[in-house]
Amino acid sequence: MAANTISITVKIWRQSDPNSTGSFENHRLEDINTDMSFLEMLDVLNERLTLSGGEPVAFDHDCREGICGMCGAVVNGIAHGPERETTLCQLHMRHFRNGETIAIEPFRARAFPPIKDLIIDRSSFDHIITAGGYVSMNTGSAQDGNTIPVAQDKAEQAMDAAACIGCGACVAACPNAAAMLFVGAKVSQFALLPQGEPERKKRALAMVEAMDKAGFGNCGNERECENVCPKGISIRNIARLNREYIRAAFTAD
């Protein structure tokens, strides 16, 4: 079967360094195979830019199979593009029309300062994780997993929260640039499990403090985050974070 091709115009954000003011650049791309992923389309663009002596577009990517959380851009106003529960690398060109102009911008938030073109600095997420997104365990041989009872439904919910790949789309999509879905997921995955119990209160307090310090906005319950999350993480996790935080604030020693 012959591959379908489309011709598109990409209106893509170019910014040479963190301090310069960026702007959009238009590029016409003919004969784009619709079976290509979005990042492969950017590869084609970069190849052409390089061959014509231009500077290729810088964008983050790693696994290209939707599980690492490195890629991401705002495509036509929606983080990770128009397909639900899909990372940018798993978005395919068949979802675009022939002749379409596609606007591509970086995730924008004060807490995610730009580095170059579509690449942003998401180390504020790392600082939040460092503040409390872990469990402390004694070294030595691991105990038998079955000695700690975990209810099946709780395990499932913890796993759903742990599906977060930390891509930052929730922040990008939030009208307030809040990181509540990310922190909600990271707090929930431990709060639901007995292994997270010892540091439960400390974790909720420390991670919210780190989040506030990083300059993220405040949750307005707009629900944009759960609609762009490539892992379909629910705002139920934000409600859980709210409970965890207030419980910890009033009862932590």
Partner 1 sequence: MSWFVQTCSSSVGKKYIMALTGFMLGGFLLVHAAGNTSIFWGRHAFNSYAEHLHSLGFLITIAELVLLTIFLLHIITGISLFLQNLGARDSRYAVQKSAGGRTWGSRTMPYTGLAILAFILMHLINFHFVDHHQPIADIVKPVLSNPLYSLFYGTAMFVLGLHVSHGFWSIFQSLGINHPKYNSLLRCISWIGCILIAGIFIAIVLLLLFSSSQLA
Q: Which residues bind partner 1 (CB under 8 A)?
A: 11, 24, 74, 76-79, 103, 105, 108-111, 173, 175-178, 180, 208-209, 211-212, 215-228, 235-236, 238-243, 245-246, 249-250
* Least Cβ distance, residue 107 to partner 1 (angstroms): 10
Half-sphere exposure of 167 (CA within 13 A, CB side): 38
Q: Which is nearer to partner 1, 148 or 159 (CB)?
A: 159
Nearest to 157 by CA among 243, 236, 86: 236
Q: Which is nearer to partner 1, 12 or 165 (CB)?
A: 12
* Least Cβ distance, residue 174 to partner 1 (angstroms): 8
Q: Which is nearer to partner 1, 62 or 212 (CB)?
A: 212
Q: Which is nearer to partner 1, 13 or 144 (CB)?
A: 13
Residue carrying the six token digits 């495509």 = 75
Please name the residues in contact with 122: beta carbons below 8 A apart, sequence gap of 6 or more: 112, 166, 168
Give the burial class of 126: count Cβ atoms within 10 A of its Cβ; 0-12 exposed, 13-18 middle, 19 or more buried: middle
* Least Cβ distance, residue 51 to partner 1 (angstroms): 28
Q: Which is nearer to partner 1, 66 or 184 (CB)?
A: 184
* Least Cβ distance, residue 223 to partner 1 (angstroms): 3
- Cα–Cα separations (whole angstroms), residue 243 to 16, 18, 130, 210, 221: 43, 37, 21, 18, 15
* Least Cβ distance, residue 245 to partner 1 (angstroms): 4
Give the type of residue at 44: V
Nearest to 35 by CA among 71, 12, 57, 4: 4
Distance CA(18)–CA(15), nearest Å, equals 7
* Least Cβ distance, residue 78 to partner 1 (angstroms): 5
Please name the residues in contact with 74: beta carbons below 8 A apart, sequence gap of 6 or more: 103, 104, 105, 106, 107, 108, 172
Nearest to 178 by CA among 140, 208, 149: 208
Q: Which is nearer to partner 1, 32 or 107 (CB)?
A: 107
